[in-house]
Amino acid sequence: MNSFFSYFWEMLRTGGPWIVISFAVCGALHGVLRPEAFQRSLGNKKFSSIAKATISGMFLPICSCGVLPLAVGLYYSGAWLGPALAFLVAAPIINPAALILSYALLGPQISAAYLISGFMLPVIIGIIANKFGGRLTESAFAPRREAAFTNAARPPLLPRLINGLRWGVEDLAVQTCRFIIIGTLLAALLLALIPASFIQAYLSNPEFISIIGATILGAAMYVCAIAHIPFIAALVSMGASPGIALAFLIAGVSANLPGMISVWKLIGKRAVFIYAGTTVIFCITAGYAANLLFAESFVPQFDLSQSERGVQIAGYFNIRFPEAFKTACALAVALIGFYSWAIYFIRRFRRP
C-alpha cells in the first residue's frame, strides 16, 4: 500500500508542474487568439495542419500528462481532431532532452529510429483521425466561439486574457484533472502490483511476443520522457533487443492511462481508439522492424564514461522545477481533481 501511494504521489509531482503550466498557457491562448485565424491554421483536414501541430509539439520539453491540457485546449479552441492528436503525441516523444539522452545512452541506431518514429507516429495518427474521426473530427466548440466573436465587438486584450485564464482554471482544469487523477491512480496500482524484477526480465526477452508486451506495458504505464531512458539503457546492456527498447521507448511516452482516460472523457471514445490503437500497432511494427534492421550490426553502447557528456548536455534542455513548486502543483492537481469528482457525485445524488 505504501508503494502505491508513493508511485501516485511521485507521478503527480513529476507531471504536476507541466500540467499547471499547460492550463495557464491554454487559457491565455484561448482568450487571446482569434478563433477564425486559429481555425484557418489547424481547423481543417490539410496535411499542413497536421505537420504544423507535429513540429510545434516536437520542440516542447513537456511530459505526456503536461501536454494533455494543451492538446484538449487546442481541440476546444477549434483545432480539428487530427492536429490535436498529432500534437498530443509529438510533444512528449520528440523531446530535445530525450533525444540527446537517448543518443548518449542508447547509441545512434536506436536514437535515429526514435527520431524517425517520433515524427511518423503523430503524422499517421493525425491523418487517421481526420479521415475516420466521424463527428469528432471537427470540434463542436469552434462554431460557437467564432460566431460569438464575429457578431460582437472584440474586447480589449487584458479582459480577454483574464477570461481565458479563468476558463483554463474553472473549465479546462476541472474537467481534465478529474480524469488525470483516475488514470494516475490506475497507473500507480499497476506499478505497485507488478514487480520490477518481472518487468525487467520480460523486457529483456527478445521474442516478438515481448515486443507486444513491452508496447502494451509502456502504453499502460506513466513514465517520464527523460527518466525511463536510463532504465531502457540498462536493459539493452543486459541483452534486450533494440526492438524492445524502441517499442517501450515510444509507447512509454506517447500513451499512458491518464491520457487515454482523459481523451475518452473529454473528446470521445473514437478519438481514444484512434490514439491508443494506432500507437500500439505502430510501436509493435517499429520494434519488429528495428530487430530486423539492426540484428547483425547492433552493439549496446552504454558506457557511463563515454556517455557523461551527452547526459550533461541533455540536462541543459531538461527543465528542473524547485521541489516546493512540484509539490504545490501536485497538490493543486490532486485538489482540483478530487473537487471535480466531489461536485460530480453531489450533483448525481441530488437528482430526483
Convert the pLDDT of each residue in 132-158 to its tens digit. 998 888 877 655 444 444 445 567 778
Is the pLDDT reported for residue 4 higher than 90? no
- The upper half-sphere exposure of residue 111, i.e. CA atoms within 13 Å in the direction of its Cβ, equals 20
* pTM for the model: 0.69
DSSP code for 159? H
pLDDT, the chain, mean: 77
Is the pLDDT reported for residue 350 higher than 90? no
Question: Closest Cα partner for 260 from 333, 141, 192, 180?
Answer: 180
- Burial code (b: 16+ CB inside 10 Å, e: under 16) for 207-243 equals eeebbbbbbbbbbbbbbbbbebbbbbbebbeeebbbb
Give the Cα separation of 212 and 281 in Å (integer): 9
DSSP code for 154? P
Predicted confidence at residue 304, as pLDDT, reads 45
Question: What are the cell numbers at 201?
Answer: 526480465
Contact (CB, 8 A) for 228 and 11 = no
Predicted confidence at residue 201, as pLDDT, reads 66
Q: Which of 9-13, 27-31, 196-200 has the lowest mean pLDDT?
A: 196-200
- For residues 332-341, give the mean pLDDT: 88
Largest CA distance in the chain: 68
Predicted confidence at residue 126, as pLDDT, reads 94
- To 5 degrees, how large is the angle CA 313–CA 86–CA 33? 95
Give the Cα separation of 327 and 12 in Å (integer): 8
